[in-house]
Structure 1
Amino acid sequence: MRRFNVVLVEDHTLLRKGLVSLVERFEEYKVVLEVSNGKELSEKLDPACLPDLILMDINMPEMDGYSTTSWVKRTYPDIKVLALSMYDTENAIIRMFKAGARGYIMKYCDPGDLRFAMDSVTKKGYYYSETVTGRLIHTINQYEDLESLDQINPLSVLNDRELEFLRFACTEMTYKEIASRMYLSPRTIDGYRDALFDKLRLKTRVGLVTFAIRNGIVSI
């Protein structure tokens, strides 16, 4: 039976030690390194013995989970990252998936859910928690259904300014900042947002990001 090598990146020592103990109880997994932040990970990760999976905290000093996940994706693209976080906000979810995370799960999950998430990421390549499923996967499946019905390409209903707004919506900028960048009023930006929600049958900014990634408007 193959054992998957795991690295833990978590700045709270007590929680990290608890995770080490928990993961070591999963027979297919072995913790090979534990660090407190991304900077320490970049210094201690051995290129000759790379892990299969990294459990990544988000809020860490020196080098947080977003920048660390981006670094892992650029430097060691074969390593899969599972975000383990206290945050379930749209912004946190968007940023981690754009950074390259393959899954996102809450720290207060049951041990069995963590095991399932790790299995999914290592064996299937991805995992979505209930939180992410509710906000992202429904949108993805919605467009899979549209394609299966051979309906029109949804990009064809968007004009150039709406596409420009959509690209900005996939960043960390607020709607007010997007308005300034596009030299438009906040009310006009709200109009673009509402028009996209209506045209694409979406309800949230996360849905817009998912649509943009799926249709190649932005990359993750």
Structure 2
Amino acid sequence: MIRVLVADDETIVRAGVRAILTTEPGIEVVAEAADGREAVELARRHRPDVALLDIRMPELDGLAAAGELRTTNPDTAVIVLTTFGEDRYIERALDQGVAGFLLKASDPRDLISGVHAVAAGGACLSPLVARRLMTELRRAPSPRSAASGERVAVLSGREREVLGMLGAGLSNAEIARRMHLVEGTIKAYVSAILHRLGVRNRVQAAIVAYEAGLVNDA
């Protein structure tokens, strides 16, 4: 059973997220918080596997809460719930160890699959968030772009191709279909890519892909 904490200052949002998650037999919502400080305290008490945090909350925002959870609850994976106007926070969130980004308007199936993914040690990145991030990076390239280009140079051509699709928000299954390979092979590629880039999860790998200009090839 995957134990989940939901934190959002809007009661109706918390109720909606809970309603979606409780349709999945393998997921249990163990706590709800109305602000970031309460989320941190409840996480200490309940030790959830996954924390779903809104970015904008009183007392302590979602990103600051994620940073505290990294220290107090290192085994709790964090998914940030965003809106279109908040994807500018992604790089800051990565520094706080966030494992996933989902839009509040995402398909309920994406929320459920995202919780399963991060609970299993993976990551999730909404394709819509990925596209917006790619647009922003094209408009204002990060000073790390050159360094990211050097990092991906150690990858094989096939690995760079997989990384580009990963950066575009495609799942392992979707990448496998595009490359006419089995999903297990793609999973092995992704694991090798994360190791060779020295990143913790798919979201961080996606940022490297954007900065290195690989997403254009996806």
* Same fold at TM > 0.5: yes
1:54 counterpart SS class? strand
Q: TM-score, normalised by structure 1?
A: 0.60
1:82 counterpart SS class? strand
Q: TM-score, normalised by structure 2?
A: 0.60
Match of 1:77 among 48, 71, 74: 74
1:55 counterpart SS class? strand
CA–CA separation in structure 1 for the residues paired with 2:75 and 2:38: 20
Q: Is the 8 A contact 2:11 2:34 kept in 1?
A: yes
**Amino acid across the alignment from 1:17:** A
Give the 5 Å matches for 1:156-171: none
Partner of 1:91: 88
Q: Relative to structure 1, is the Cα distance of residues 50 and 16 closer, same or farther in structure 2, using a 3 angstrom cutoff? A: same
Match of 1:51 among 43, 48, 53: 48
- Per the TM alignment, residue 42 of structure 1 is displaced from its structure 2 partner at its CA by 2.7
Give the 5 Å matches for 1:1-220: 3-47=1-45, 49-134=46-131, 135=133, 146-149=153-156, 210-211=207-208
CA–CA separation in structure 2 for the residues paired with 1:73 and 1:146: 31
- Per the TM alignment, residue 34 of structure 1 is displaced from its structure 2 partner at its CA by 0.3
The one-character-per-residue Cα deviations of 1:49-102 (angstroms, maximum 9, x if unpaired) are 411000110011111111101010121111100111114555211122222210
Q: CA RMSD in A?
A: 3.0
- Per the TM alignment, residue 43 of structure 1 is displaced from its structure 2 partner at its CA by 3.0
1:33 counterpart SS class? strand
Structure 1: runs of 5 or more not aligned: 151-206, 215-220
Q: Percent identity?
A: 26
Q: Relative to structure 1, is the Cα distance of residues 124 and 75 closer, same or farther in structure 2, using a 3 angstrom cutoff? A: closer
Q: Is the 8 A contact 1:5 1:53 kept in 2?
A: yes
* Runs of 4 or more consecutive aligned structure 1 residues displaced over 6 Å after TM superposition: 139-144
CA–CA separation in structure 1 for the residues paired with 2:124 and 2:89: 16
Specify the structure having the higher radius of gyration (Cα).
Answer: 1
**Amino acid across the alignment from 2:97:** G
Q: Is the 8 A contact 1:88 1:106 kept in 2?
A: no
**Amino acid across the alignment from 2:118:** V
Q: Relative to structure 1, is the Cα distance of residues 105 and 143 closer, same or farther in structure 2, using a 3 angstrom cutoff? A: farther
**Amino acid across the alignment from 1:19:** V
Q: Is the 8 A contact 2:103 2:129 kept in 1?
A: no
**Amino acid across the alignment from 2:108:** P
Structure 2: runs of 5 or more not aligned: 135-144, 158-203, 212-218
**Amino acid across the alignment from 2:56:** N
- Per the TM alignment, residue 114 of structure 1 is displaced from its structure 2 partner at its CA by 1.1
Q: Is the 8 A contact 1:84 1:104 kept in 2?
A: yes
The one-character-per-residue Cα deviations of 1:115-149 (angstroms, maximum 9, x if unpaired) are 1211211124211221444447xx89976752125
